[in-house]
Amino acid sequence: MSDHSTRGTRTNENSLSRSIVWTAWTLLTHTIAAGVLFVALIRVVPGFLVLFEEFDAALPAMTILVANLSRMVAGYWYLLVVFGFGLDAFLILGFSLLPGKAKWLGGLWASVVLLAVTLLLGFIMMAVLLPLEALITQLT
């Protein structure tokens, strides 16, 4: 009987260990994705906005939206980091501790966050490239 209880304890320890490793890797991946997004919004977008302003380029609504988002992120980045990381860590850890069949929710959350970051980066890219293409066409 003691052999059976020892195996159960090892299984629980392995499960908890896997949950911690999965949580750490997912948080690392989300942190890198958020870092790329922050760099795009805080460093790249303002550089293009200066260029558009120098050439007095007309900006489409999506570029104005991204410019406003860039200003907001630059002004409140510390709040976004603290609350974003805290919420993400809370959800990932919570999902990793769910019983058996419900653990798929953690994978879904991890995938949705990465998909959202990818789509937002694509939107930012389009918002910057549209006026850039119009400016290049105007100059040639």
Residue 40: per-residue pLDDT: 97
User: What's the rounded Cα separation, in Å, for the pair 58 and 80?
Assistant: 30
pLDDT (tens, 9 = 90+) of the chain, 140 residues, equals 555 555 556 666 777 787 788 888 999 999 999 999 999 999 999 999 999 999 998 999 999 999 999 999 999 999 999 999 999 999 998 888 888 788 889 999 999 999 999 999 999 999 999 999 999 998 88
Domain boundaries, given as residue ranges, for the chain: 23-139
Helices and strands per DSSP (H, E), number in the chain: 4, 0
In this structure, which amino acid lies at residue 90? F
User: What's the rounded Cα separation, in Å, for the pair 26 and 112?
Assistant: 12
pTM: predicted TM-score of the whole model, two decimal places:
0.83
What long-range pairs does 132-136 form, CB within 8 A, spacing at least 24? 132/48, 132/51, 132/52, 134/57, 134/58, 135/51, 135/52, 135/55, 135/57
In this structure, which amino acid lies at residue 84? G
| Nearest CA-CA partner of 92 in 111, 77, 79, 78 | 111
